[in-house]
A and B are shown apart, each in its own frame.
Chain A
Amino acid sequence: MWDYTDRVMDHFRNPRNVGVVKDPDGVGEVGSLACGDALKLTFKLDKDARISDVKFQTFGCASAIASSSALTEMVKGMTLEEAEKVTNRDIAKFLGGLPEQKMHCSVMGREALEAAIRNYRTGEKSKQILEGKVICNCFGVTEEEIERVVRENSLTTVEQVTNYCKAGGGCGGCVPSIQEVIDRVEVERKSAGAAAAARPMTFLQKIHLIEDTMAREIRPMLQRDGGDIDLVNVEGNKVIVAFRGMCAGCNVAQFTLKEVVEAKLREFVSGDIVVEDVKS
């Protein structure tokens, strides 16, 4: 059996927001029977242009159903601009994590949301749209999609890419092309990291950059889950923070601390930053 979290099992057993919204403003459909999972997402906006109602229908495994259900809970009340920023990692995090081989379920959620938003804005039926060059013919995955999951999830191996978007999981003929995408993103990541490391900063500039990064990259993510974070102190490369709201006492707080807060600060401020919770 898969090592599903209690939250995954809860959303699988008691899926929220099942069905189709009446007279929807946006409809997004992704996946197929042959692929093994498919999701139809519909939403309605209120007068303030916020998502007032959102429903899903999913064909798929336990984690596909849970990811869809989680997504609807997450985006309810958001503006489309806010909803657009939801990544597959956010969906997985909302569920307390997904098994690596099941991350593609969270990617399907994000894709359906994008398709529904695009449908609202342009009237396009998003089902058949494949932008850019198709790399994996077995599952119809484009270079753009592969690059995106590699970037957003910091993937480094073809196996991970398969887990996240299925590309490479059929005949395996596209494995070299997937490796090329990984290599290209890796080169970019390294040069960006080198640039960040090379940038001379005063201590005050560094604190400002930490605050900016937290405000831009970290807090919105935590606030979506009803949590928050404050900067307490900076001592050299040690950044001390305090979790607030739902994050305080959350059982995945340590994961969030390292995998989200520290990872983002290392990416945008300096590669040697260590983040600690004020309690520890």
Chain B
Amino acid sequence: MKIVYMDNNATTRVAPEVTEAMEPFFRELWGNPSSMHYFGGQVARHVEDARAKVAELIGADPSEIIFTSCGTESNNTAIAGAAEIYGRQARIVTSRVEHQAVLGPCRKLGQTGFDVVELGVDSAGQPDLGELRKALQHAPCFVTTMWANNETGVIFPIEEIAGIVKSAGGVLHVDAVQAAGKLPVRVDEVPVDMLSLSGHKIHAPKGIGVLYVRRGTKFRPFMLGGHQEHGRRAGTENVPYIVGLGRACEMAREHLREGPGKLAALRDRLEKGLIAACPSGVLVNGDKGRRLPNTTNMSFRYIEGEAILYHLSDLGIAASSGSACTSGSLEVSHVLRAMGVPAEFAQGSIRFSLSRYTTGEDVDYVIAMMPAIVRRLRALSPFSPPEEQQI
């Protein structure tokens, strides 16, 4: 069966070059980089090599890079650390459309008595900067928000947000898990204090992440019990994955030269093709002008997302949905709800997220297959226009 993988915001294929770079560290170079013998010591050099490559991708100094186990750990470290440093007199500011890895720890702090403010977004998914300015009238203030949204691909105006936060004297953590590798994410150009990255969204394996901490930023470690990462993250370094991530960052830099433009063209072809080929009642969610080049979130009216996904899956097409049935709860995606997308559209939302491995042929295959699925499910739906129902 043909396989068309369009769920790259969930996870990406490990690049063959990355696997190749990792292999020696499973076979021969399996020493502990902290050891006082050549066998471990020779490995430490490769960890530092990878650190430099990660730093280069985001314009950081290698000493500002902390390796973690995943993006979720990076976010938790930043948020829990801020709570510890600034205490209950601090205000935590985030947005209603964050990933659960940010909303979860923030809401937990809210339950334990912290003042947590969740900024709203407009119908395009863009944050209310007026609300941000108002929230920042309190000090100390810790802001944690995303660079780009995982569900809609909407890019936040991070330069502007950073300017507002810094001029108000606040501390800014940015979850750049979806943005990194898809658009330039540069800490030498944008004054963020902390930034989270995840390996498996940029063609490295699952189980490796990064927290960037700008030199001079107050920091408290989350994982205790060892001197690794200069005491900022205890635990023996995951050497093969760190090496793999280094290689993936190198490839991401390469991709950023021409890749985003090509991806945006493919994504637009998919979007236009689907709108033209499917019966009416199809719309695109999120700010079309400021979106990740690889992502489209489309709503197919009168039908439900999970049913669409299963039919797509039968045809070898992998995508995801913000419908209630697939959200793991009984309510539709919190992102689409925050944007005010009506339930009838949100229930039928499908996210296609492409990667550098996506081809024009893949896109055409989805355009060719989707209309029949929409027609088939609309024929079943009591809400469809009568001419599309099977009576």
Contacts and interface: CB of A to CB of B under 8 A. Distances in A.
Given A12-B310, A33-B343, A166-B330, A59 B323 contact: no
B324 A36 contact: yes
Contacts of A20: 389, 391
Contact of B381 (A57, A61, A170): A57
A15 B377 CA distance: 10
8 contacts: A57-B389, A58-B381, A58-B382, A59-B304, A59-B382, A60-B304, A166-B330, A169-B331
B323 A36 contact: yes
B382 A62 contact: no
Contacts of B306: 61-62
Given A20-B391, A58-B380, A36 B314 contact: no
A19 B391 contact: yes
Nearest to A37: B304
Contacts of A62: 306-307, 310
A9 B314 CA distance: 10
Given A36-B332, A61-B323, A29 B380 contact: no
A15 B380 CA distance: 9
A34 interface: yes
Interface string B288-332: 000000000000001111110010011000000001111001111
B344 interface: yes
Contacts of B332: 36
Interface residues of B, number: 28
Contacts of A15: 380
Contacts of B303: 59
Nearest to B313: A1
A186 to B, nearest CB: 24
B382 A169 contact: no
A61 B382 contact: no
A38 B383 contact: yes
B204 interface: no
A141 to B, nearest CB: 11
A29 B381 CA distance: 12
B146 interface: no
B325 A61 contact: yes
A61 B389 contact: no
A36 B380 contact: no
Interface in A220-266: none
The 6 A-B residue pairs whose C-beta atoms are closest, nearest first, are: A169-B330, A61-B306, A36-B324, A57-B382, A61-B325, A34-B343
A33 B383 contact: yes
A106 interface: no
A19 B383 contact: no
A10 B106 CA distance: 43
B379 interface: yes
Given A36-B343, A58-B381, 15 more contacts: A12-B307, A12-B310, A19-B391, A20-B389, A20-B391, A33-B347, A35-B324, A36-B332, A36-B347, A39-B382, A59-B302, A59-B304, A59-B380, A60-B325, A166-B330
A189 interface: no
A273 interface: no
A18 B380 contact: yes
Contacts of A35: 324
B107 to A, nearest CB: 13
Interface range, A side: 20 to 34
Contact of A33 (B307, B344, B391): B344
Given A33-B344, A36-B323, A36-B324, A59 B330 contact: no
A8 to B, nearest CB: 10
A139 interface: yes
A13 interface: yes
Nearest to B311: A13
B390 interface: yes
Interface in B345-382: 347, 379-382
A29 B325 contact: no
A29 B303 CA distance: 17
A65 interface: yes
A36 B304 contact: yes
Contacts of B391: 19-20
Nearest to B324: A36
A36 B381 contact: no
Contacts of B326: 61
A162 B391 CA distance: 33
A271 B325 CA distance: 38
B305 to A, nearest CB: 8
A61 B391 CA distance: 20
Given A18-B380, A59-B302, A61-B325, A170 B390 contact: no
A237 to B, nearest CB: 42
A138 to B, nearest CB: 8
A44 interface: no
A149 B305 CA distance: 26
Interface in A50-88: 57-62, 64-65
Given A18-B379, A18-B380, A162-B330, A36 B325 contact: yes
Interface in A193-208: none
Contacts of B380: 15, 18, 57-59, 65
Nearest to A22: B391
Most chain A beta-carbon contacts within 10 A, residue among B330, B331, B347, B381 = B330
Nearest to A68: B380
Contacts of B390: 18-19, 57
A170 B331 contact: yes
A61 B379 CA distance: 14
A110 interface: no
A13 B314 contact: yes
B334 to A, nearest CB: 12
